[in-house]
Amino acid sequence: MSRTILRSILICAGVAVLLSAGPARPETFRPENSKSPKQAVPASALDPFSGTPGLFLGVAWYPEQWDESRWDQDLGLMQAAGVRMVRMAEYAWSRMEPREGRFDFDWLQRAVEMAGRHKIFVVLGTPTGAPPAWLTQKYPDVMRVDENGRRAIPGGREHYSYSSPRYRPYARRIAEEMAKRFGRHPNVIGWQVDNEYGLSMVSYDEDTRGQFQRRLKSRFDSLDSLNRHWSTNYWSQTYDDWNEIPFPLGSSANPSLKLEWYRFLSETNRDYTRNQASAIRAHADPRQFITHNFSGEDVFDYYVIAQDLTFASLDDYVGTGHLDPDRNGMQLDLARGFKRRNFWISETSPGSGCWRPVNSTPDRGEVRALAWETVGHGAESVCFWQWRSAPAGREQYHGTLVGADGRPSPFYEEVSRIGDEFARLGDFFRGTTPESRTALLQDYESDWAIQFQKHHQDFDTVAHFLSFYRPLRLLTQDIDIVHPSAPLSGYRLVVAPHLNILTGETASRLLEYVKAGGHLVLGPRSGMKDSYNALLPARQPGALLGQALGGDVVQFYALDKPVPVGGALGSGEARIWAEWLEATAPDMEAPLRYGASNGWLDGKPAVISRRVGAGRITYVGAYLDDRLMASLSSWMVERSGGKPPFGKVPPGVEVCRRIGAGKEIFVLINHTPETKTISLPRPMRDLLNNAARGLVLTLFPREVAVLKGR
């Protein structure tokens, strides 16, 4: 029996055993007998991560759900598992403000300080995702209204309207009162604003409609300008008064109106976040960070909301089935791209979920593989949701590390292993981040525009993006996912899978990148719309890039059956979508063409490419099958002069690299149920086993290796 498990059993039995004899608390921990919430913080703590682990293992802990006599045992079990951070209070509004204007933080301070005695840092969440009953009862207008005009009722969460002018002051006040109490507490290292922004927060009440109309009035010079850009002569939609502009309800709503509505939602959400963040910053020590745990819903533009955060956080759940390392890796790289810096995992499951049709459980070793994958892609923290089963409530069946009886679940041992590894290797990762010479451009506005008018029911923007990401990630072993406005000069290859909305400013920046020596690849449906979601007057991909490309799109086709595609890059099929490309310059290349199909596409180029200045621009006009995407990706990487930093690895083995501060760290994960033998590019140090490795490494099923490159 391991020492960790033995100690856990002793704690569960109620034996008063310290996990280590009188541990010396770091200087950033608050002395046990200190009562002042304004205690000075040592200079060494001004960096949010100074004196803290290089990698955090965390759990979501809800002390308000359990008798206080249980807290010390829970925290002891956490410490035994290597947990160094707890996130709490994000749903405890009714406990912190049981009556309007009457605050009780004493219990929370006891929990924060007790965590400190167990060498566990705290991240506090503002509890605005679930307003208390006294607030919703007294002010029912803070509740959101759905598309059918029905106001939400209390009893759940996220039932408020985040655009409500009445709700905002209450949300700000609870955040400010928390910051007054804990903004300089040495054991509180950061804050999470609200919880998992999603579609359920959107309200269709008249006050929100007025805000939307006022935003449109500030965006457009006049109603004439709006009517012109939106082509409101179509279906007699012309507006003579700003108050006439409706919500974009139903499938027949003007796509231009819908795009502005989605922009409004994102900007309003940013303002909602800033409302609380500014209240916290007014009272918090600079060492404390502010973040939010994004859930992945694409109704908001996370690049916009993340602007007021220290860094982004992600809730990373598998749900039904098992870990898809490519799809998960894509989400992780996207989260890193919100701020173009490392991020946190605020929630991931130590077992099954409770919201899917089938809430399957990860295989043994799968949770550890996911945890190390997140680190490989730039995570500084992995926080499991949740610590202990709630005695009642909607999520009783969700996976936990400790059951309702207080005893560890089967995943406790696996998470304890992660905690031990994070503790031993955390400093090696400090100051490092993934770095790539390949970027994929992701734009929420383009995704929305396609979703508004899919033209083919199977055109899934996430799946299409993944069809590019998967083979490119395999070849390059590291990819950045960034907004089209991000700096591009450091990339050899930039791929925009479906940049549907293309402004003149973005087109100019992309062309400058190409002329300076970069390789730009545009996917199907690129360059169709302007910033108002109106069709561009020039053929795809727009006048500027089309002229540089030496070709354009004559027509597009939603495919009811696959179309053969072949050429110098191999043979395969186009499915879902195909575009008829035509050359306008004699030096344009066509490495792939369509075979016989509908007569329109027969023999026409499916991919065209041309050298421009010191670089190259390529247009991919078809949704290609996996085999052709692999060949096309190899061609793109080869033409761009890229090569993987580690070298070739067997299928099913993922390679992640983090560099910085003179260090190069590789994380290798065998995601398969089979043993894999890997050739190393040079002798390396195996950090997990503290052993030297020659030129061969064996990875058992779902096993992880962390290697020091230099």
Catalytic residue positions? 196, 347
Tokens at 187, concatenated: 């054991």
Cα–Cα distances in angstroms (integers) from residue 357 to residues 150, 319, 320, 327, 391, in the given order:
27, 9, 8, 20, 23
| Sign, Cα dihedral of 541, 546, 549, 553 | positive
Q: What angle do CA 547, 553, 558 make, to 5 degrees?
A: 160
Cβ atoms of 43 and 70 closer than 8 Å: no
Cβ atoms of 387 and 402 closer than 8 Å: yes
Non-local CB neighbours of 592 within 8 Å, separated by 6+ positions = 565, 566, 567, 568, 569, 605, 606, 607, 622, 628, 632
Non-local CB neighbours of 130 within 8 Å, separated by 6+ positions = 91, 93, 156, 157, 158
CA–CA separation, 535 and 529 (whole Å):
4
Cβ atoms of 645 and 579 closer than 8 Å: no
Cα–Cα distances in angstroms (integers) from residue 93 to residues 21, 175, 187, 665, in the given order:
37, 10, 21, 42
Helix (H) or strand (E) holding 616: strand 615-620
Cβ atoms of 530 and 537 closer than 8 Å: no
Non-local CB neighbours of 646 within 8 Å, separated by 6+ positions = 477, 655, 657, 666, 668, 681
Tokens at 137, concatenated: 């009862």
Tokens at 519, concatenated: 């390789």
Phi, psi of 708 (to 5 degrees): -90, 120
Identify which of 327, 380, 317, 384 has the alpha carbon closest to the alpha carbon of residue 354. Answer: 317
Cβ atoms of 597 and 566 closer than 8 Å: no
Q: How many CA atoms lie within 13 A of 450 on its CB side?
A: 29
Tokens at 334, concatenated: 């996207």
Tokens at 517, concatenated: 């020596």
Tokens at 511, concatenated: 């062309």
Residue 501 DSSP class: B
Amino acid in position 403: G
Calculated CA dihedral for residues 209, 215, 217, 219, nearest 10 degrees: -150
Dihedral-angle region of residue 378 (phi above 0 means left; psi in -120 to 50 means alpha; beta otherwise): left
Task: List, in sequence order, every residue forming a beta bridge with 589; answer none if it has no partner.
Answer: 609
Cβ atoms of 610 and 587 closer than 8 Å: yes
Cβ atoms of 229 and 256 closer than 8 Å: yes
Question: Token match 């009035």: residue?
Answer: 217
